[in-house]
Every structure is written in C-alpha cells, then in structure tokens.
C-alpha cells in the first residue's frame, strides 16, 4: 500500500516488539485501504434521479413513452458512470455512515485477530482506515478498565494528526509506544508471556 512505506512497516514492527517486551499485553496494528466499498451509493443516486426525470416530460410534453423511457435509462447510466469513481462515491456517503462502517470493521478486526482471546484480556487494536480517514483504538476489558477515560482517544487524536501530515509511519510508531507504556504500567510482564499475536503491521488492501 502506497500509504505507508516498507521502511515504516519495519519501524512499526520493531516498535511493537519493543513495547511487548515490557508487558504481557498484546498490540496489533491494522491498516486498511477502506472499510467498505459503498458501491450501492452510485446505484442509489442514479435510481433516484432516473425516477424523477420522466415526470416533467410526462406532464408537459407529448413525447412518446418510448422516448421518455430511453431518456430515463440514459440518465440512469450517465449518473451511475459519474458517481462510480471512488473519490466521488466516497464524497456522497455521509460522514456518520463512513464512521459507522469503519467502526464496525474495526470491531470485526478485533475479533478476527483474536485480540478477544488473549491471556488476561489485555489485547489492544490500533486500526486505521484510509478511505474513511478513520482511526480507532479498541482495548479489551483487562486493560480498558485500568486506563482513565479519554486516554485512548488522545492517542487516536495524535495518530490522526500524523496521518493528516502524511507521517503515517510516525503516527503508528508513536501510538504503539504510548499504548506500550500504558500496558507496561498496568499489565507488567508475568512469568509466562507468550507472544500470541503478530507483531507486524497487518495491511488489508
């Protein structure tokens, strides 16, 4: 993924390894190009506009129904082609919908990566979805209950700031470091600290 370089991926992996040496908790980082394709949006807009177009011609012209139908079909296809490009498609999706889809994908990744099954329930997911410009940290109950309210969001705010600056590698590394400090404070290394989950940045295209 062009959003992040191979060098940054290596830096993130090293940051995770360093952080996990000081804790029995687990950190997983996930970067995805998009949380949903939203391909239904162009079809929805094209259908709505195509349904509206015929009415003026039905009431105010003597056009044959065949012409009106062809016009309606042409409008549908034209609007569909105009709204299919990814940049336009995403612009048509309300921000609340994009946030909801990205959050649901983050929760899904929390489960897919088995963060919910770590010893002590101390897994932490750092999730970024590029298309939605969305970042979230999801922490399991074992660590979440020990961390003051608003702590995760402060880390996310710094991460999104770095992403906006085009410093995605720095953003991930700093987020991992800060999460690692919290885990080291509340979940110190135990007598048995298996490295249960992957330490590299997981990329979903």
129 vs 120: CA distance, rounded Å: 28
Confidence check: pLDDT of 191 > 50: no
Residue 96, pLDDT score: 94
Percent of the chain with pLDDT over 70: 96
The pLDDT mean for the chain works out to 91
Confidence check: pLDDT of 188 > 90: no
CATH class name, domain 6-36+95-204: alpha beta
Instruction: List, by residue range, all CATH 3.10.310.50 domains of the chain.
Output: 6-36+95-204
Report residue 1's pLDDT band, with 50, 70 and 90 as the boundaries: low
Residue 14, pLDDT score: 95
pLDDT tens-place string over residues 45-95: 999 999 999 999 888 888 898 999 999 999 999 999 999 999 999 999 999
Letter string b/e over residues 42-73, b meaning 16 or more CB atoms within 10 A of that residue's CB: beebbeebbeebbeeeeeeeeeeeeebeeebe
Confidence check: pLDDT of 198 > 90: no
What end-to-end distance do the CA atoms of the chain give, in Å? 7
User: Quick check: 134 and 128 in contact, CB under 8 A?
Assistant: yes
What is the average per-residue pLDDT within 104-128?
A: 91
What is the average per-residue pLDDT within 16-37?
A: 93
Residue 193, pLDDT score: 55
Residue 40, pLDDT score: 93
pTM: 0.87
Residue 119, pLDDT score: 78
What is the average per-residue pLDDT within 27-49?
A: 94
């Amino acid at each position: 993924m062009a959003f992040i370089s191979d060098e940054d991926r290596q830096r993130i992996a090293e940051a995770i390894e360093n952080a996990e040496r000081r804790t029995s908790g687990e950190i997983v980082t996930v970067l995805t190009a998009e949380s949903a394709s939203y391909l239904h949006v162009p079809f929805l807009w094209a259908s709505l506009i195509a349904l509206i177009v015929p009415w003026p011609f039905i009431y105010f012209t003597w056009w044959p129904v065949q012409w009106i139908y062809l016009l309606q079909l042409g409008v549908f296809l034209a609007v569909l082609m105009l709204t299919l490009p990814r940049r336009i498609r995403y612009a048509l999706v309300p921000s609340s919908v994009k946030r909801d889809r990205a959050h649901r994908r983050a929760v899904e990744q929390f489960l897919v990566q088995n963060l919910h099954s770590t010893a002590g329930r101390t897994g932490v997911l750092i999730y970024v979805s590029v298309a939605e410009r969305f970042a979230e940290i999801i922490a399991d109950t074992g660590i979440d209950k020990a961390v003051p309210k608003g702590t995760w969001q402060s880390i996310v705010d710094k991460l999104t700031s770095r992403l906006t600056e085009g410093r995605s590698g720095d953003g991930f590394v700093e987020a991992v470091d800060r999460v690692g400090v919290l885990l080291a404070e509340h979940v110190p290394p135990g007598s048995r600290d298996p490295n249960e989950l992957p330490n590299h940045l997981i990329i979903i295209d």
